[in-house]
Structure 1
């Protein structure tokens, strides 16, 4: 059974179809790429899948405990709670908060302490807060950020800000992680480190990853399957080898004749 099933998804902005009749499936514990030229509709598709936009038509169903549940009409925080996490093309951290606080904000999505316990500060509340801090530091340690817990997010180097955004998304304990151009603005060494990191995340956290990326070497190296968008439509789907030799993809994305 697929973990996420998208059927005939369409989003119109006025007379423009930014995404048109897109269908795709994601399965448990796989790493999938989503590529296409600038303006192809990749980020719009992410925004539809995560509740930022509501579709004009089509369906998005997530498997939860053996049953399909629709994501249509759900708020972004509902979708996060259901198990979809994401990063953004332009880094969106709480830049005036510490590294630790950024991760704790992600963890609060799964916090089970009630509002009353938070107001009167019960022992259970303090125990929960302490456990979250320990879990956050343990997560930061995996990504070599444990020595930066007290630093403001805005003071981190660019590559570390990218890593922190991924850590915050993982703190929500997602079933599916959407990465929107995580290598944007990175130098070759940072991109190589990110490639290894994405592999590690998929392996160690046993989650599904959908990756938007323009760095074709990264996509070809880490993805098991690849979907290709052009002008909001899905024009190809296959393994990296199949996509590399697909004439429609070569023409639309790789500059062929």
Structure 2
């Protein structure tokens, strides 16, 4: 059974079809790429999968306890609770909060402590807060950010802000992690470090990753399968080697005739 299954997904804005009849399938612990020219609809597809937009037609279902459950019509925070985590093309951190607080906010979405216990500051509240803080710092260590816990997010260098956004997404304990152009704006060394980091994330966290990225060396190096969008339609799907040799993809995106 697939972890995530998308069928006939379509999104129209007025008379314009941004996504048209898209099929996509993700299995457990896969690292899958989504590529295509600017304006192909990649971020729109992510927005549909994570509840930012609602589709005009089609289905999006995630496997939960052996059953298929639709995410369509649900709030974004509910979809997060169902196991979808994401980063954004443009970094969306809480810039005026500390690095640690950015992660703790994400962790609170999974907290089992109720409102009454939080208001009354019962012992279970303090125990939960202490546990979350410890887990947050351990998570930041993996991304070499443990020494920045008290810094404001806005004061981090660009590459570290990118890493923090990934940490925050992982703090929600997702089944599927959507990475929207994580290498955007990075220099070659930062991109190389990110490539190794994405591999490590999949290995250590045993989650499924869907990656939007324009850096083809990164995509070809880390992805097991690749989907290709053009003008909102899926024009190809296959292994990196198959995509490299696909004439339609070469003409539409990779360069060449």
What TM-score, normalized by structure 2, do the two folds share? 1.00
2:17 match: secondary structure? strand
CA–CA separation in structure 2 for the residues paired with 1:112 and 1:12: 39
Shift of the alpha carbon at 1:254? 1.4
Residues 86-97 of structure 1: pairs in structure 2 closer than 5 A: 86-97=86-97
Residue 147 of structure 1: aligned partner: 147
Q: Distance in 2 between matches of 1:210 and 1:5?
A: 13
- Counterpart Cα distance in 2 of 1:29 and 1:106: 22
Question: Segments of 4+ in structure 1 off by > 3 A?
Answer: none
Any idea what the Cα deviations from partners look like across 1:149-192, whole Å, max 9, x if unmatched? Answer: 00000000000000000000000000000000000000000000
Number of aligned pairs?
A: 257
| Aligned match of 1:41 | 41
Aligned to 1:132: 132
Residue 254 of structure 2 aligns to a residue in which SS?
A: coil
Correspondence for 2:234: 234
Q: Which stretches in structure 2 are left out of the alignment for 5+ residues?
A: none
Supply the RMSD in Å over aligned alpha carbons.
0.4
- Mapping for residues 236-255 of structure 1, pairs under 5 Å: 236-255=236-255
Q: What pairs with 1:16-35 in structure 2 (closer than 5 Å)? A: 16-35=16-35
Aligned residue number for residue 158 of structure 1: 158
Q: How far apart are 1:255 and its partner, in Å?
A: 2.3
Looking at structure 2, the residues matched to 41 and 164 of structure 1 have their Cα atoms a distance apart, in angstroms, of: 26
In structure 1, distance between residues paired with 2:254 and 2:22: 21
CA distance in 2, matches of 1:234, 1:150: 44
Q: Partners of 2:34 and 2:129 in 1: how far apart?
A: 37
Q: Distance in 2 between matches of 1:209 and 1:106?
A: 18
The alpha carbon displacement at 1:256 in A equals 1.8
